[in-house]
Amino acid sequence: VGKSTFSALLAQGLAADEAKQVALLDIDICGPSIPKMMGLEGEQVHQSGSGWSPVYVEENLGVMSVGFLLSSPDDAVIWRGPKKNGLIKQFLRDVDWGEIDYLIVDTPPGTSDEHLSIVQYLSATRIDGAVIITTPQEVSLQDVRKEINFCHKVKLPIIGVVENMSGFVCPKCKNESQIFPPTTGGAEKMCQNLNVSLLGKVPLDPQIGKSCDKGQSFLSEAPESPATSSYRNIIHRIQEYCDQHHFHEEKII
Amino acid sequence: VGKSTFSALLAQGLAADEAKQVALLDIDICGPSIPKMMGLEGEQVHQSGSGWSPVYVEENLGVMSVGFLLSSPDDAVIWRGPKKNGLIKQFLRDVDWGEIDYLIVDTPPGTSDEHLSIVQYLSATRIDGAVIITTPQEVSLQDVRKEINFCHKVKLPIIGVVENMSGFVCPKCKNESQIFPPTTGGAEKMCQNLNVSLLGKVPLDPQIGKSCDKGQSFLSEAPESPATSSYRNIIHRIQEYCDQHHFHEEKII
């Protein structure tokens, strides 16, 4: 449904502000797609005196993924939970992230080892919250309700929900089709029912997939596309949420 | 990318032959979508003298999923690997499947606990093989190469690859768009390179998502659609593969 695509774009969008230091951590151990999407395939992690160095896309955007530790991008990481958890711990403890303003964590689907471990390992840092990605289809919303349930159970705040693949405008006749139809009212109705923010809806645009495959930022490749303006709004809302959240914390302390 | 959708349709397609007994096992413990897709939401598993009874869609099509064990479809199963593996073992050992001709197993994405466990627990039964689902995009093919690598490592035969979401025909102007564009040649080129069968390509059709959400079989809801004829061809090829494989085994024994 586009979790990694959104994580990559969120990182690129936040790093557009050169005053902010952004880190993108890919904990999808068995299906890491962040290196390809960020144009970093074939990069290796370097060991420095202070630990593993992230791979930098820009001076203010560092990335870490198991993809950088494999000898070939087709290699499968055939690991059960405990080994995956061990690597996630290493990513947090042994990587020299430096001073960062944002840490974006891209997770695999589900509510299992990776999700429990990252929340547990970061519990001391007060995570700002989770952004949840869905398509308009009920089968996808059903997974999202489980993820919201997960967030409640582990006391992880929810920044909001992004509805991805919200409609497709035919490039020839401009007719809009619902390719993943919202048979139960889509993310909008679900968010109302569950009292969660809907951060925005992003239309399907074939250029998004092309940019991902080429490791380019869709936001700068297609600055005029309706999908880009939707992404930019969503990123802006996430920034605002985090700013308020930090301000709040400072007040509390 | 449509793994569960394909599993559901494959089960329905194989069960169209009333002489065959079909079982569909959903081992996506944290994201079970099979109950909804098969129109079985709210069904419960019954305990009989000989174990758990599957939920039957038709007399010759039984289904098992963690979804039948939850009190609400929004409940999250927040389990690490070992608990998931335990349930998969129970599904194989404690469910009274009866005499079956086909057992279809729907897995979550990845190459981790669920995948290792199912292969291990079924190792004595000689699994016919794996069907791998992808979209035309390189980011999806990259995951598939890892899954193929997984199959080789655990000595699981590969029946073939299905390319899903292969193109979208605008209902208004009939123009075809590649919504998930095959920037590196799609599944076709990958299958050639890796010497794996391409079972077929299925176009995007909004009716597929609608049927899934409603728990109806797309094959009978839209019998004339190009996607249906593509699915039927693929199902036929899988049947043929299994027939030959069984024949082969009988010869070997």
Q: Closest CB to A150: pick one of B76, B111, B112.
A: B76
* Chain A CB contacts of B108 below 8 Å: 109-110
Residues A63 and A143 in one domain: no
- Among A81, A105, A125, which residue terminates a domain? A125
Residue A1 lies in a domain: no
Q: Are B40 and B215 in contact (CB under 8 A)?
A: yes
Q: Are B55 and B49 in contact (CB under 8 A)?
A: no
Which residue in A has a C-alpha nearest to residue B142's C-alpha? A74
Q: Are A218 and A203 in contact (CB under 8 A)?
A: no
Residue B53 lies in a domain: yes
Residue A11 lies in a domain: no
Residues A26 and A52 in one domain: yes
- Render pLDDT for B83-95 as a digit per residue (tens, 0 to 9): 999 999 999 999 9
Confidence of residue B253 (pLDDT cuts 50, 70, 90): very low
Beta carbons within 8 Å of A48's beta carbon, 6+ residues apart? A96
The full 3-state SS of chain B, as one line of letters, equals: CCHHHHHHHHHHHHHCCCCCCEEEEECCCCCCCHHHHCCCCCCCCEEECCEEECEEEECCEEEECHHHHCCCCCCCCCCCHHHHHHHHHHHHHCECCCCCCEEEEECCCCCCHHHHHHHHHCHHHCCCCEEEEECCCHHHHHHHHHHHHHHHHCCCCEEEEEECCCCEECCCCCCEECCCCCCCCHHHHHHHHHCCCEEEECCECHHHHHHHHHCCCHHHHCCCCHHHHHHHHHHHHHHHHHHHHHHHHHHHC
Residue A142 lies in a domain: yes
pLDDT of residue B250: 52
Interchain proximity B80–A179, CB inside 8 Å: no
Confidence of residue A250 (pLDDT cuts 50, 70, 90): low
Interchain proximity B139–A37, CB inside 8 Å: yes
Which residue in B has a C-alpha nearest to residue A30's C-alpha? B110
Residues A140 and A66 in one domain: no
Residue B12 lies in a domain: no
pLDDT of residue A252: 47
Distance from the Cα of A176 to chain B's closest Cα (Å) equals 9
**Residue A22, domain extent:** 16-125
Q: Closest CB to B181: pick one of A108, A146, A210.
A: A210
Which residue in A has a C-alpha nearest to residue B73's C-alpha? A142
Interchain proximity A74–B142, CB inside 8 Å: yes
pLDDT of residue B1: 76
Q: Closest CB to A178: pick one of B138, B178, B206.
A: B206
Q: Helix (H, G, I), strand (E, B), or coil: what is residue A31?
A: coil
Which residue in A has a C-alpha nearest to residue B140's C-alpha? A33
Residues A169 and A202 in one domain: yes
CA separation for the pair B106, B3 (Å, rounded): 7
Interchain proximity A78–B116, CB inside 8 Å: yes
Residues B120 and B134 in one domain: no
- Render pLDDT for A170-213 as a digit per residue (tens, 0 to 9): 999 999 999 999 999 999 999 999 999 999 999 999 999 999 99
CA separation for the pair A140, A1 (Å, rounded): 8
Residues B108 and B147 in one domain: no
Query: How many residues are there in chain A?
Result: 253
pLDDT of residue B237: 98
Which residue in A has a C-alpha nearest to residue B81's C-alpha? A81
pLDDT of residue A241: 97
Residue A181 lies in a domain: yes
Distance from the Cα of B134 to chain A's closest Cα (Å) equals 13
Mutate to test the interface with A, among B179, B191, B195 (most CBs of A within 10 A): B179
- Render pLDDT for B171-195 as a digit per residue (tens, 0 to 9): 999 999 999 999 999 999 999 999 9
pLDDT of residue A126: 86
Residues B157 and B231 in one domain: yes
* Chain B CB contacts of A147 below 8 Å: 76
Residues A87 and A178 in one domain: no
Number of domains in chain B: 2
Mutate to test the interface with A, among B9, B70, B112 (most CBs of A within 10 A): B112
* Chain A CB contacts of B147 below 8 Å: 76
CA separation for the pair B131, B112 (Å, rounded): 17
Distance from the Cα of A43 to chain B's closest Cα (Å) equals 16
Out of A33-37, A235-239, B209-213, B245-249, least confident range: B245-249
Residues A148 and A109 in one domain: no
Query: How many residues are there in chain B?
Result: 253
- Render pLDDT for B193-208 as a digit per residue (tens, 0 to 9): 999 999 999 999 999 9
Interchain proximity A109–B139, CB inside 8 Å: no
Residues A248 and A138 in one domain: yes
Residues A141 and A121 in one domain: no
Please say if the pLDDT value at position A253 is more than 60.
no
pLDDT of residue B252: 46
Residue A10 lies in a domain: no
Interchain proximity B81–A78, CB inside 8 Å: no
Instruction: Please give the ipTM for the structure prediction.
Output: 0.94
Please say if the pLDDT value at position A131 is more than 90.
yes
Residue A201 lies in a domain: yes
Please say if the pLDDT value at position A247 is more than 80.
no
- Render pLDDT for B77-120 as a digit per residue (tens, 0 to 9): 999 999 999 999 999 999 999 999 999 999 999 999 999 999 99
- Render pLDDT for A66-95 as a digit per residue (tens, 0 to 9): 999 999 999 999 999 999 999 999 999 999
- Among A108, A125, A142, which residue terminates a domain? A125
Confidence of residue A49 (pLDDT cuts 50, 70, 90): confident
> Which domain CATH number covers B88?
3.40.50.300
Confidence of residue B248 (pLDDT cuts 50, 70, 90): low
**What is the average pLDDT across B212-220?**
96
- Among B125, B140, B169, which residue terminates a domain? B125
Which residue in A has a C-alpha nearest to residue B141's C-alpha? A74
Residues A163 and A196 in one domain: yes
* Chain B CB contacts of A148 below 8 Å: 74
